[in-house]
Chains A and B, each alone.
Chain A
C-alpha cells in the first residue's frame, strides 16, 4: 500500500472518532425549542454523514491497495517515512518561523517584528541575496507598509521601538 492510502486510512479512522465525539457532545447541548430545532440538530446530522464519509475514505484506501490494517504500524510505515521526510522538516521550519513572527508581534509590536521577519526570511529562503540587500528590502517594505496602512488608512498598528526613532527624528511620537 502506498503512503497516500495509509494516510487516508488513518485519517478515515480519525474522522469516525471525531464524528462520534462531536455527536455525543452535541447531544448534550440544551435545546429549548425541542430537538428538531435545537442547536445540536444540524451538527449531529453532519457528524453522522462525516462518520459515514470517514468509513468511505477507509474503504476507498483499502480498495486502492491496502492489504492489512496492521501494515500501518509496520516498520516501513507512515511514521518512519514522515520522520525521514525532508519535506516535513522544511514544513516544520516554515510553520515555526511564521509562528515565531506572529507571536513576536505581541512583544516587539508590529513594525519591528515585520522588519526582522522579512530580513530573516530573505536570508533563510533566498540565501543568494546579500545581507545588506535583504536589510534594505526589509526597511523599504516596512516603510511602504507604514505609509499605506498606518498613514493612509489609519490602521492602529504599533510602531514599537520605532516610535522612539520617530520621536528622535520628528520630535514627537506618531501614535
Chain B
C-alpha cells in the first residue's frame, strides 16, 4: 500500500532553498560529466561519493540521484554533437542523433532526447512507486536460498549481456566474487586470501575498487588516446514541436516499460536498456530502412529506455538490497556508510527512504530536462575543453574519493591497482561491470549459501525445490545452454519449427 502522505512529506523536504540549489548544481554537474566523453555515469557517481561522506544521507542520496539521471541523459549531447557517446547508455543514440546533427538538426535531436529522457524518467519513477511495495512484500518471503540464487542470477545476467563474450564476463564476475571474499570470514573468523598483508584483513572495500575500475581506468585510457573529437554546434532551436512528441508517445510508453524491466533485473543497466529500446523502435517502425540515417524514432527508443532504466535499477536495490547496476552498487555503498539498510525490511523500519528516492527521482528529472533545454548550446563550448587535462583532475578526485572513506592511504593504493586492472581488462576485452557486481554480491552469495546449508541441516535440496529457486534455475540453465553452440543450434531449430 502506498503512503501518499509520506510521499508528500518527502517532496516538501526537497523544497528548501539549500536542497534545490544542491539539486540544480549536481544535476548540472551530472549533465556536464555525462556529456563529456570518457566520464560515464558510474564514474561520475564514484567521484561524487567522496562528497556524500560529509553530508546528511538525504542530501547525499539527492546529489547522487540528480547526477545519475542527468549524466545518463547528458550522454546524448555528445552523441549528437561529437559522434561519441558521452556514456555507454548513449551508444545507440549516436546512430540517429549524429546524422541528424550533420543535416543541421542538432538542436532538434537534443530536444527529442531531452523530452524522451524526461518522459522515460518520470514514467519509470511512477512504475517504481507502484511496483516497489509489491516486490518488497514478495521479498519478505525470501530465504537464504533465494538470495543465493539471486546473487548468481545478477552476476550471470551481467556477464551474459554486458560484453562481447559471456565466458569473459563470467570470468570477470568470478574474480569479483573472489575479491569480495578476501579478509576475515564472518562465519568462522578464519583469514582468507590476505597473504600476510594486515590491511587486507578487513577485506577489500568495493568503493575504492569501483573508483579505480571506473575513474582511474577511464582516465588512464584517455591518456593513451591520441585524438580528440570535433564538436558540431547546434544551430536550430532545442524545443521539438508538440506534434512530434505526441507522435512518439505510444512508442515511448512501451519503451519505458521495457527500460524499467531491464533496469529491475539485477546485473543489467542503462546501456542494455538503450539498445533494447532502440531495437524495439526499429522493429515497430513503419520505416526501418531510415534507421542509421537520422531517424528520430531511434532516439525516442534509446533515450526513453535508458532513463526509465535509471528508476528501474532502484527496484532491486530498495526491495532486495541487490544493486541493479554498477552505479546503484555505489549508491548502496553510500547508503551503508550512512547506516541505511536497504532491503525488504526497509519498508517496515524506514519506509520514508523509499518515498524519498521516488521524490528525488521526480525532481531530478525535471531539473535535467530544464537544463537540457537551456544549456545545450553552452555545453557545446564546454565539450571543446581538452579532455586529457580534465582527466588529471579526475585522478585527483579519485584519490580523494578513496582516501576519504577511512582516511587511509592503503585504499588509495587499492584504487590505483584496480585502475590498472580496469585498463588491462578493457585492453583484453573483459567487461568491468560483472567484476563490480561480483564484488558487491560475492559476500552476500557466500554467506547466504553457507547460512542456507546450516538452516537446512546440511541439505542441498531446498536450493532446487523452492518455487522461486526453480524459476531462477530454469532461466539460468536456459541462458547457459544458449551459450553452448550445440544447444544453441538445437534451441534455434525448435523455435524455427514452431514458427
Given A38-B188, A95-B420, A105-B399, A121-B178 contact (CB < 8 Å) = no
Distance between B480 CB and nearest chain A CB, rounded to angstroms: 11
Residues of B within 8 A of A102 (CB): 399, 412-413, 416
Q: Is B321 positioned at the interface, with any CB of A under 8 Å from its CB?
A: no
Interface centre among A94, A95, A152 (most CB of B within 10 A): A94
Chain A 27-58 residues near chain B, CB threshold 8 A:
29-34, 36-43, 46-47, 49-50, 53-54, 56-57
Interface centre among A11, A53, A93 (most CB of B within 10 A): A53
Question: In chain B, what residue has the closest Cβ to A134?
Answer: B389
Chain B 320-359 residues near chain A, CB threshold 8 A:
none
Chain A 112-154 residues near chain B, CB threshold 8 A:
114, 117-118, 121-122, 125-126, 128-129, 137, 141, 145, 148-149, 152-154
- Cβ-neighbour of B224 out of A90, A122, A137 (below 8 A): A90
Q: Is B290 positioned at the interface, with any CB of A under 8 Å from its CB?
A: no
Interface pair B178/A22, CB less than 8 Å apart:
yes
Number of residues in A with C-beta < 8 Å to the partner? Answer: 64
Residues of B within 8 A of A145 (CB): 396, 400
Q: Is B386 positioned at the interface, with any CB of A under 8 Å from its CB?
A: yes
Contact digits for B27-56, partner A, Cβ 8 Å, 1 yes 0 no: 000000000000000000000001101100
Give the docked Cα–Cα distance between A171 and B385 (Å).
38
Distance between A22 CB and nearest chain B CB, rounded to angstroms: 7
Interface pair A149/B400, CB less than 8 Å apart:
yes
Given A36-B458, A98-B216, A46-B409 contact (CB < 8 Å) = no
Interface pair B404/A155, CB less than 8 Å apart:
yes
Given A15-B171, A49-B174, A126-B389, A149-B412 contact (CB < 8 Å) = no
Q: Is B185 positioned at the interface, with any CB of A under 8 Å from its CB?
A: yes
Of all A-B residue pairs in the complex, the 4 with the closest CB atoms, nearest first, are A121-B392, A153-B54, A125-B388, A94-B223
Interface of A toward B, CB cutoff 8 Å: 4, 7-8, 11, 15, 22, 25, 29-34, 36-43, 46-47, 49-50, 53-54, 56-57, 60, 87, 90-91, 93-95, 97-99, 101-102, 105-106, 110, 114, 117-118, 121-122, 125-126, 128-129, 137, 141, 145, 148-149, 152-157
Question: In chain B, what residue has the closest Cβ to A153?
Answer: B54
Residues of A within 8 A of B389 (CB): 121-122, 125-126, 129, 137
Q: Is B187 positioned at the interface, with any CB of A under 8 Å from its CB?
A: yes
Question: In chain B, what residue has the closest Cβ to A97?
Answer: B223
- Cβ-neighbour of B167 out of A22, A60, A110, A114 (below 8 A): A60
Distance between A38 CB and nearest chain B CB, rounded to angstroms: 7
A-B contact pairs, 28 of them (CB 8 A): A30-B188, A31-B188, A36-B450, A39-B185, A41-B450, A42-B177, A46-B177, A47-B178, A53-B167, A87-B224, A90-B223, A90-B224, A95-B220, A98-B419, A99-B416, A101-B399, A105-B409, A105-B412, A106-B409, A110-B399, A118-B392, A121-B391, A121-B392, A141-B393, A145-B400, A153-B54, A154-B54, A155-B54
- Cβ-neighbour of B407 out of A7, A47, A156 (below 8 A): A156
- Cβ-neighbour of B449 out of A42, A121, A129 (below 8 A): A42
Interface pair A37/B416, CB less than 8 Å apart:
no
Given A32-B188, A145-B400, A149-B50, A42-B446 contact (CB < 8 Å) = yes
Question: In chain A, what residue has the closest Cβ to B385?
Answer: A126
Contact digits for B427-455, partner A, Cβ 8 Å, 1 yes 0 no: 11100000000000000011001100110
Question: In chain A, what residue has the closest Cβ to B195?
Answer: A25
Interface pair A43/B458, CB less than 8 Å apart:
no
Number of residues in B with C-beta < 8 Å to the partner? Answer: 56
Interface pair A157/B174, CB less than 8 Å apart:
no
Q: Is B197 positioned at the interface, with any CB of A under 8 Å from its CB?
A: no
Residues of B within 8 A of A94 (CB): 220, 223-224
Question: In chain A, what residue has the closest Cβ to B412?
Answer: A102
Residues of A within 8 A of B187 (CB): 33, 37, 39
Give the docked Cα–Cα distance between A106 and B50 (Å).
20
Contact digits for B376-392, partner A, Cβ 8 Å, 1 yes 0 no: 00000000001011011
Residues of A within 8 A of B178 (CB): 22, 43, 46-47
Distance between A125 CB and nearest chain B CB, rounded to angstroms: 4
Given A42-B181, A94-B224, A157-B403, A118-B393 contact (CB < 8 Å) = yes
Interface pair A30/B171, CB less than 8 Å apart:
no
Given A53-B174, A121-B389, A126-B388, A4-B429 contact (CB < 8 Å) = yes
Q: Is B165 positioned at the interface, with any CB of A under 8 Å from its CB?
A: yes
Residues of B within 8 A of A121 (CB): 388-389, 391-392, 395
Chain B 190-232 residues near chain A, CB threshold 8 A:
190, 192-193, 216, 219-220, 223-224, 226
Distance between A112 CB and nearest chain B CB, rounded to angstroms: 12
Interface pair A39/B188, CB less than 8 Å apart:
yes
Residues of A within 8 A of B413 (CB): 102
Interface pair B171/A50, CB less than 8 Å apart:
yes
Interface pair B220/A117, CB less than 8 Å apart:
no
Instruction: Known pairs A57-B165, A60-B167, A105-B412; list 4 more (Cβ under 8 Å).
Output: A29-B190, A41-B449, A53-B174, A145-B400
Distance between B238 CB and nearest chain A CB, rounded to angstroms: 30
Distance between B392 CB and nearest chain A CB, rounded to angstroms: 3
Q: Is B233 positioned at the interface, with any CB of A under 8 Å from its CB?
A: no
Interface pair B392/A117, CB less than 8 Å apart:
yes
Distance between A78 CB and nearest chain B CB, rounded to angstroms: 11
Q: Is B360 positioned at the interface, with any CB of A under 8 Å from its CB?
A: no
- Cβ-neighbour of B181 out of A31, A43, A106 (below 8 A): A43
Interface pair A42/B450, CB less than 8 Å apart:
yes
Distance between A62 CB and nearest chain B CB, rounded to angstroms: 13
Residues of B within 8 A of A101 (CB): 395, 399
Residues of B within 8 A of A125 (CB): 223, 386, 388-389, 391-392
Give the docked Cα–Cα distance between A32 and B188 (Å).
7
Distance between B424 CB and nearest chain A CB, rounded to angstroms: 9
- Cβ-neighbour of A152 out of B54, B185, B412, B445 (below 8 A): B54
Q: Is B168 positioned at the interface, with any CB of A under 8 Å from its CB?
A: yes
